[in-house]
Amino acid sequence: MTYDYDLFVIGAGSGGLAASKRAASYGAKVAIAEYDLVGGTCVIRGCVPKKLMVYASHFPSLFESAGGYGWKVGDAELDWEKFITSIDNEVRRLSALHINFLERAGVELIQSRASLVDEHTIEVDGRKVTADKILIAVGGTPSLPNIPGIEYGITSNDIFHLKEQPKHITIIGAGYIGTEFACIMRGLGCEVTQIMRGDMILKDFDQDIRTGIQEGMINHGIRIIKNTVITSVEKLSEGLGLKLNLSGEQQEPINTDVLLVATGRAPNVKGLGLDKAGVKIVPSTVEGHGYGIMNAIIVDEYSQTNIPHIFAVGDVTDRINLTPVAIGEGRAFADSEYGDIRRVFSHEDVATAVFTQPEAATVGLTEAEANEKFGSDKIKIYRTRFRPMFYTLPQQEERTMMKLIVHSETDKVLGAHMVGDYAAEIVQGVAIAVKMGATKKDFDATVGIHPSAAEEFVTMR
């Protein structure tokens, strides 16, 4: 049978872009559909605009530090409108750049929503087209808990477009997004309250990372309300914001200007027509207090669904929801299907960072995971905690924590974790060593760069 395309990609985010360009480079006839700005979550409403906000949020602390070094810094004020507009301009510039990259690669861009009609047919831009293979790379979307009045809140999709800077923002959720934005908005000068169901942020991260960040957040003036849920949201009179009714440790209602709902993201499968093509998904579940896990597409190690010629990569599969992982999965798919290079993308020892204040980064096993896998008697922990030299003259109480988890029988470094300035930049290099299977002796034999914080990773005893 003759098809209109060798490959049709639904979703022009990180995974879809990487896969389409790589497949086209092997000679495949490729089309990609996207109804929003090209670039996906990372470029439009995730990594890029968020990191720009992170940079902006650091300036007040830097102004304070400058005083300790003898600089006289006058009154500083954030022009919110200019700030938000500048971020939006950069997002649109990058989106246009990605469109140009697609054109250069010979990929046809169809700027329209697409859905499956059957195993080989896609409805897009008011017409039906066929493809030999289909790749689904539509990413995720914010998941809202079933709470009365939750529609008065905003999500991470909306926070980059706030017309005015809120005086008080309340955040529900203790994962990546909620914790990062709590630190961002506090750094930008807002009063910040973070409400969480449990007693600590960043579930599944190493305990020392969780503790280090949470202590730092509290020291920076973020109010953290633990073991508490929002039972309902009420809109107050015009200009008076919202009233949040609570249950748990904290039961006194909170008034806030803005409520950021950061209770997770779900695979963006709605309206894709997966049932028409017979693509299987993980059934959705609903947890207490209206939280839920939604419908990820089931794939094997080659990102193949139960339908042999339909594939899925990135957050829609809910494996490791990180931009570089989606890119890696997309390229591995293209290599395997069009490049005659059959390969699997490895999801082991994937480094990641949390751009909080203080920042954190991690690679490999947590202490709890290592103890469970090998037994606590087979694990040796190396840990250091100190105030970096930068903060000595300003006398600011910022702390850095570094930690290595070592298998005592093989001396192999199983995990590396850091909380502190430039954690992402430092752990990126350490991740190479961990991925290669470096031992603690290899770390010890490496000469440190002095004076630097990073040298602590090779001097811990």
pLDDT in tens, 125-178: 999 999 999 999 999 999 999 999 999 999 999 999 999 999 999 999 999 999
**Tokens found for residue 437:** 């299977």
What is the SS3 string spanning 296-349? CECCCCCCECCCCCEEECHHHHCCCCCHHHHHHHHHHHHHHHHCCCCCCCCCCC
Task: Give the pLDDT score at 293.
Answer: 55
Could you tell me how far CA 396 lies from the centroid of its own chain?
Answer: 29
**358-458: what CATH class?**
alpha beta
Query: Measuring CA to CA, which residue among 51, 384, 397, 65 is closest to residue 220?
Result: 397
Give the list of residues 6+ apart from residue 287 with CB closer than 8 angstroms, or none: 293
- List phi, psi (to 5°) of 390: -55, -35
pLDDT reading at 286 higher than 80: no
Q: Assess whether pLDDT exceeds 90 at residue 371.
A: yes
- Which residues in 56-84 are b (16+ Cβ under 10 Å) and which e? bbbeebeeebeeeeeeeeeeeeeeeeeeb
CA distances from 382 to 212, 219, 378 (A): 16, 25, 13
pTM of the model: 0.95
Least confident stretch, 193-197, 216-220, 287-291: 287-291
Q: For position 291, what pLDDT does the model report?
A: 53
Q: For residues 100 and 282, what is the distance between their CA atoms, to the nearest angstrom?
A: 36
Q: Name residues whose C-beta falls within 8 Å of residue 260's C-beta, 6 or more positions apart in sequence.
A: 153, 154, 155, 156, 159, 169, 170, 171, 172, 173, 178, 181
CA 317 to chain centre: 15
pLDDT reported for residue 285: 56
DSSP code of residue 357: S
Q: How confident is the model at residue 239 (pLDDT cuts 50, 70, 90)?
A: confident
pLDDT exceeding 70 applies to what percent of the chain?
Answer: 98
Pairwise CA distance, residues 344 & 333, whole Å: 8
Those residues whose C-beta lies under 8 Å from the C-beta of residue 320, and which sit 6 or more positions away, are 347, 350
Q: How much of the chain exceeds pLDDT 90, in percent?
A: 95
Beta strands (DSSP E) in 166-320 are 168-172, 191-195, 223-225, 228-235, 242-248, 254-256, 258-261, 265-267, 285-286, 292-293, 310-312
Task: Give CA–CA dist 430/289, Å, rounded.
Answer: 40
Q: Please name which of 225, 232, 121, 235 lies closest in space to residue 173, comparing C-alpha atoms.
A: 225
pLDDT of residue 287: 56
Q: Regarding predicted confidence, which is higher, 284 or 375?
A: 375
Identify the pLDDT of residue 283: 76
Residue 19 has a CB neighbour count (10 Å cut-off) of 33
Rounded to an integer, the average pLDDT of 252-278 is 96
Which are the catalytic amino acids? 450
Average pLDDT over the chain reads 96
As its CATH architecture, domain 5-142+266-338 has: 3-Layer(bba) Sandwich (3.50)
Q: How far is the C-alpha of 454 from the C-alpha of 233, rounded, in Å?
A: 45
Q: Which residues pair with 162 in a beta bridge?
A: none
Residue type, 210: R
Sequence ranges of the chain with CATH classification 3.30.390.30: 358-458
Residue with tokens 């300003």: 394
Fold of 150-263: FAD/NAD(P)-binding domain (3.50.50)
CA distance 136 to 19: 10
pLDDT digits (tens, 9 = 90+) for 4-52: 999 999 999 999 999 999 999 999 999 999 999 999 999 999 999 999 9
With b meaning 16 or more CB within 10 Å and e meaning fewer, what string describes 336-355? bbbbeeeeebeeebbbbbbb
Q: Which amino acid is at 150?
A: I
CB 30 within 8 A of CB 7: yes
Q: In the chain, list all ranges with CATH 3.50.50.60.
A: 5-142+266-338, 150-263
